Amino acid sequence: MNRDNHVAARQVMVLYTGGTIGMQASENGLAPASGFEARMADQLAGQPALVVPQWQFREISPLIDSANMTPAYWQRLREAVVDAVEVQGCDAVLILHGTDTLAYSAAAMSFQLLGLNAPVVFTGSMLPAGVAESDAWENVNGALQALGKGLSPGVHLYFHGELLQPTRCAKIRSFGRNPFAALNRAQGGETLGELPAALDYRQPKQLANVAVLPLFPGIGAAQLDGLIDSGIQGLVLECFGSGTGPSDNPAFLDSLQRARQQGICVIAITQCHEGGVELDVYEAGSRLRGVGVLSGGGMTREAAFGKLHALLGADLPVDEVRRLVELDMCGELR
């Protein structure tokens, strides 16, 4: 992330959603707990040489383990960010979030907050604050310092001294101090020009119904039909390699065609850790394109999922959604 010439944050809103960072022991194991504001203030007071911006704190209720994150919670989080900037007068936001779905939320907020002229940073920790060898204060303090030095407007992910672009990274480890990594995904695609008014961060978003389906050897129309008939509006189809699927299965292709006819937007991404989708390389991919599947290029699962939620939630015409899917909006394709 390039921080050159960006204005240093003066007043940061800290939004606490729960997650490991503030968890405490319960009879059923670690659980989200209130009281993190006082703990954060105490540890900062104990480091007078540490220079961070002024900050204020808001606890989002209910506090959750991020395994329980939902698109409805994203909407409340978007509203909290907008309130912090537009009403409370903050010039930056720090979101404390559990790591399991942090990459999903950060990617989704990248699309939900398009046009926001303030930096928003997500961070969390792999161990709760206060336990031996915890990374909690290291990440909180580091994120605050990064904001104090100045970050570009938009959403960032901070962890263990590194700033990552949320639409190009994922959680790749369930252990250690470096759970997140930038993925070496393909780059390309045209960049969006003027932002459609419906996608501006100030515009409320409706809840959308989006699913993810990974392809596997032997998958048939029945599995796909189950999703189509469940009422989804969008589908992230995790394909093999550069965007291939069971192209010799007429029923499977017919189901994809039916999805297109019903206005369901289907994006193909790759299951591979590196590279991306090029639907026209193989016949098995071009047949998917032929029944209306769109190319997700090098988009990650998290980015494609969050992008569909934002586009469909903006109540845009289906043809406009399909057009915007293949345009880069906030670095997801570049």
**What integer pLDDT is reported at residue 202 of this predicted model?**
95
CB burial of residue 61 (10 Å; 0-12, 13-18, 19+): exposed
State pTM to two decimals.
Answer: 0.95
**What integer pLDDT is reported at residue 5 of this predicted model?**
53
Both structure tokens of 107: 């990617």
**What integer pLDDT is reported at residue 189 of this predicted model?**
84
91 and 209 both lie in a single domain: no
86 and 224 both lie in a single domain: no
175 and 234 both lie in a single domain: no
22 and 63 both lie in a single domain: yes
31 and 148 both lie in a single domain: yes
**What integer pLDDT is reported at residue 211 of this predicted model?**
98
* 218 Rama sector, left if φ>0, alpha if ψ -120 to 50, beta otherwise: left
Dihedral of CA atoms 228, 229, 233, 237 in degrees, nearest 10, equals -20
Instruction: Indicate which residue of 17, 20, 123, 167 is catalytic.
Output: 20
162 and 56 both lie in a single domain: yes
Domain of residue 287, residue span: 197-325
Tell me, yes or no, whether 4 lies in a domain. Answer: no
* 27 Rama sector, left if φ>0, alpha if ψ -120 to 50, beta otherwise: alpha
17 and 103 both lie in a single domain: yes
Tell me, yes or no, whether 319 lies in a domain. Answer: yes
152, 182, 212 — which closes off a domain?
182
182, 213, 233 — which closes off a domain?
182
159, 182, 205 — which closes off a domain?
182
Tell me, yes or no, whether 6 lies in a domain. Answer: no
**Exposed e or buried b per residue across 199-215, where buried means at least 16 C-beta atoms within 10 angstroms of its C-beta:** bebeeebeebbbbbbeb
Tell me, yes or no, whether 188 lies in a domain. Answer: no
Domain count, the chain: 2
**What integer pLDDT is reported at residue 28 of this predicted model?**
87
CATH number for the domain that contains residue 225: 3.40.50.40
Tell me, yes or no, whether 334 lies in a domain. Answer: no
50 and 150 both lie in a single domain: yes
Query: 36, 16 in Cβ contact below 8 A?
Result: yes
Sheet strand arrangement including 119-123: 54-64, 11-18, 92-96, 119-123, 154-159, 162-164
Packing angle, helices 301-313 and 318-325, rounded to 10: 150
Tell me, yes or no, whether 1 lies in a domain. Answer: no
204 and 176 both lie in a single domain: no
Per residue of the chain (334 residues), give pLDDT as tens: 344 458 899 999 999 999 999 999 888 899 999 999 999 999 999 999 999 999 999 999 999 999 999 999 999 999 999 999 999 999 999 999 999 999 999 999 999 999 999 999 999 999 999 999 999 999 999 999 999 999 999 999 999 999 999 999 999 999 999 999 999 999 988 999 999 999 999 998 999 999 999 999 999 999 999 999 999 999 999 999 999 999 999 999 999 999 999 999 999 999 999 999 999 888 888 999 999 999 999 999 999 999 999 999 999 999 999 999 999 999 999 9
Tell me, yes or no, whether 95 lies in a domain. Answer: yes
Distance from C-alpha of 298 to C-alpha of 242, rounded to nearest angstrom: 10
234 and 175 both lie in a single domain: no
Distance from C-alpha of 20 to C-alpha of 66, rounded to nearest angstrom: 8
Under 8 Å CB-to-CB from 134, ≥6 apart: which residues? 125, 127, 128
CATH number for the domain that contains residue 129: 3.40.50.1170
Q: What is the secondary structure of 155-198 as a DSSP string?
A: EEEEETTEEE-GGGEEE--SSSS--EEE--B----PBP-SPPGG
Give the closest residue to 308 by CA, choosing from 169, 213, 209, 241: 209
225 and 260 both lie in a single domain: yes
Query: 163, 172 in Cβ contact below 8 A?
Result: no
Give the closest residue to 97 by CA, choosing from 29, 157, 21, 171: 21
123 and 204 both lie in a single domain: no
CB burial of residue 148 (10 Å; 0-12, 13-18, 19+): middle
Tell me, yes or no, whether 286 lies in a domain. Answer: yes
300 is catalytic: no
**What integer pLDDT is reported at residue 1 of this predicted model?**
39
